Chain A
């Protein structure tokens, strides 16, 4: 190989690298999908929001994330919301007792629990939770089956293609209800409805 020919392959490599970068960006591989960070207090969603049949309490998501149907931000429960029950409910198993003691310690020190954030869209994206919740999109459609997650992880990619997919093709309500663990009758009723489409203009979310 001549020296000249050797260097002529470099643009080719550059093009390949660029293509790889672009592909990886669009494939969702670059998102934090699947990230499952450790939390300061090991909050068991299955115990609180899991179905009663499986030993959960079946609490509605809105009990704690109370702004999800009226604000762009779903809200995190204030520590005193937790303490509303946990001044009385102190846990049975040792592991539970330990975690509730941690929570109580935060509360007694008047400190918030510094939860590690999992779901975040970039600053240039406006995501109004209430529009989605009130349109009937179940929480599980985007966040996964949190009611079954011992430790919450990012279930969806949150990439733009993933958003747009629903906005253009319409929301599959039956699937959303299935993920939320709704009874079969509800799922069947939803399946009979046409998919709801949404606006997909750039300035609906980016401003």
Chain B
């Protein structure tokens, strides 16, 4: 046949041309760096900065009820991470997930970038001069008309001098004091504390406690100073034998409840009955009837409370109509037991929560707004349209105010109704102060230049006052910063105090909030549910709070510590109730109360009474930016506008009708299974059996010598540690020396690394590469670089871990992890058709979290048919175990994952071709794949819309599409520390640095370091008697050592686990 033209196919010449061109193109594309961009220098060098070297500025984080001290890591003028300030007496270096997410508020892409003024139904940008002139004019008009005394200013609750400063400003202009609102604040508890102890928040000394009884007080997840509580609680629990036992009383087991050793599942609203019984004013029989719990449980509770003596710590945080009575009764019980002065330290308390208005005050304002009396309303920080019960009608009332100003930086529901927006600085851009403890003041300093054209509200107030002849004289300074300096002893003293962030002093004292002349409308007590009625418990989300966290993708993506659901709302319902009603996981459930209707998928939860359903606040925004809007449902619709005796908002208000509308949507959950199925991932030991545990070396010797059981995963069924010698095959197993055990296939004759075992690390180079070679390269401990002398390792103490998940967010922050659950990040279902469900990627199992918090339940196996409150929870932080004998390594066809000489399981992104074999072979499921180009700005799935990418850590590669990634043990921190030591011409010192998860952990459960060097704490902790390796039976020789949880059962009762 001819090779000439005429055939319909490709001509040879053309084919060769194409081939040649392709080759040339790929040569050019290959590794070229033709377009490498520009090098932009400073115009004027800032002082004390070195490019690419971080500075740390001490400041104050205002994300929660309690302000904590933080250090902002600033690189080349931008904040890239927040860490706790070790000098701050409350958080002592730790930082919660919510606190760390403050940077995503700072760099939020939906922030207002300039002042805005209403035009028709929308807003247009304006200048600060025009905006301030407009506000001045409106304020002037109100004053000339004599209506200024009816103006309203709603501020977020905050500590520090600003509330008093604001009141002075308002008074100066003839306006009433401001209204500080926080839907999450436990007002009833504070009122009772003030009455009983003389301070709103005494220090709770868990260390002195023998028994902690919590009546719905979620002191680990949002109730009061929860970061400080967590640090203290973990330290107390780490005492093991002498640690306090915790009993949680309430209708639903919260995160704090899951940390309790025992749960008394009392009916909502019956807490007061139980406290009355403990105070001796009711009998156990009557109380058991009211609370719906067995009488002997209550009798035993009473015995334990008596036995605890002055080591008793009773906490009350219930949110029903009786909240204040409960808190007062708890305080009386503490006092009777002599606990005030031992477990409760009023003299070390923070009394500064006094400037907090009640929900009743806000209701008074709504009534006045509805009556058309309020000429001007100003809002800052608070978002009452979203965070008040819909039944209150705040939105309609607010709309009746003729002129509304918002100082919010975000397009929230309240701000969207306003006429003028004067966006405030983010706290990281602003100056301020906050009480840090008795006689101590934390200083808040601006850590970077403002991201957008915003102004600190305090500065705006000063500017307005100076422009007004009547008030100008009171404000001799131009900025709030100068005003603060004047209070703190001048510029020199202020500048000297800033680096520490803590100084002696006190904030400007606030007068007690003016109580609006409203009659309290106490809510009704909750009747026992009957028929299709169930008690409805509404609680603030531990992650999103009352909704203020919802615009931060880290928090949306962080699974709820209890339900493990993210990017979604859910209804908690007990499996037995669900079975009775024919509800399965993910089936929609509608709750109907007299106030409103709420529908969300069901989450079947062991830790809730069968006659109760629970929903979290936080979701269901109709505005508030791209990450919050349209996600989940708003639980505030269920609440009646009711108050407790302290005027606080009642969250557990009564019963509702629960129905099943017939729809289903899968839960966006990172939970594979809630059960361990005997795998022994999260192991525990009863406190009484601690003495039977032996150190790992002893265990190994017994194992090999005695020829006993070598199984390690199955002996832990039921969660109780083994009785004797059958500990897991742990670090330093001495099988060869003792010769008793069978040869493990694949185990080489030499172990290169000291410290924890890493026998097969040398398969990278040396024995397995070339059995005859004597050159072990970098794996030779005598190599001149000494790289093989270190063995990076980690211990995780499950007796300390509370499951709060701060470590997860810390990892996102440090390691440039993309969030993948936003509605626009899903995959294409067909060309041009996208899966736009929130969390679509997570539903496909494509989440990205290098460290995740596994939460397993033990016990209550037959929950489908019976209710059993006696179950134990195991929180297990799960991350790459950096196995010495890693299953992922030999299956990689391109050698992108291997074991480094210093003990890391390394993932080389630029070698990875994305076969995902490693992930398939990983028994811990800790490898995550980039299914989309999350790091590419032109892609739909881009995870850091401008200016969110300013937060990215410059030390860590942003991974590309098609690349596998996983925990690196913060290798960038290891290298940075090595570089620093080298610069200073010294060796690394023990515990001189740590990884991001360990740094943030408020319970100090994670310890990182060099296991080969005894000067690091981890080297000792790895040899603890409670140590075990997850899946040790797989001979993975992990570098992560877990220490068993310790369970404290009741003295007279069988184990709860």
Contacts and interface: CB of A to CB of B under 8 A. Distances in A.
Given A199-B778, A207-B971, A30 B31 contact: yes
B785 interface: yes
Nearest to A70: B50
Contacts of B982: 131, 134
B1 interface: yes
B281 interface: no
A32 B971 contact: no
A188 interface: no
Contacts of B40: 76, 112, 114-115
Contact of B52 (A67, A123, A131, A207): A67
B28 A124 contact: no
Contacts of B36: 32, 117-120
Contacts of B901: 201
Contact of A197 (B22, B30, B784, B904): B784
DSSP majority for the A interface?
A: loop
Interface in A6-33: 6, 10, 13-14, 17, 20-21, 24-25, 29-32
Given A2-B1, A17-B19, A32-B32, A79 B27 contact: no
B862 interface: no
Interface of B is mostly: loop
A1 interface: yes
Contacts of A128: 975, 979
A159 B31 contact: yes
A112 B41 CA distance: 6
Nearest to A167: B785
B999 to A, nearest CB: 18
Given A199-B778, A202-B898, A6 B3 contact: yes
A205 B22 CA distance: 31
Given A1-B3, A81-B45, A117 B958 contact: no
A117 B39 contact: yes
Contacts of B3: 1, 6
Q: Which of B26, B43, B983 has the most CB of A within 10 A?
A: B43
Q: For the side of the interface on A, what is the size category?
A: 35 or more
Interface stretch (B460-468, B550-558, B905-913, B939-947): B905-913
B560 to A, nearest CB: 31
Interface in A56-110: 67, 70-73, 75-81, 106-107, 110
A124 B957 contact: yes
Interface in B946-975: 955-958, 968, 971-972, 975
B37 interface: yes
B787 to A, nearest CB: 5
A189 interface: no
A198 interface: yes
B15 interface: yes
A70 B27 contact: no
A166 to B, nearest CB: 13
A25 B36 CA distance: 18
B44 interface: yes
Interface in B758-804: 778, 784-785, 787
A164 interface: no
Contact of B955 (A29, A107, A126, A204): A126
Nearest to B960: A124
Contacts of A112: 40-43
A183 interface: no
Given A10-B15, A201-B901, A203-B908, A21 B41 contact: no
30 contacts: A17-B22, A17-B26, A21-B26, A21-B27, A24-B27, A30-B32, A32-B33, A67-B51, A67-B53, A76-B41, A77-B41, A78-B43, A79-B41, A80-B45, A114-B39, A116-B38, A117-B37, A117-B38, A120-B37, A122-B910, A123-B958, A124-B957, A131-B982, A201-B787, A202-B898, A203-B900, A203-B968, A206-B908, A206-B910, A207-B971
User: Nearest 10 A-B pairs (CB), nearest first?
Assistant: A73-B52, A78-B42, A76-B41, A120-B36, A30-B30, A78-B45, A203-B906, A73-B51, A115-B39, A124-B957
Given A21-B27, A115-B41, A116-B39, 10 more contacts: A17-B22, A30-B30, A73-B51, A78-B41, A81-B45, A117-B39, A131-B982, A203-B904, A206-B908, A206-B909
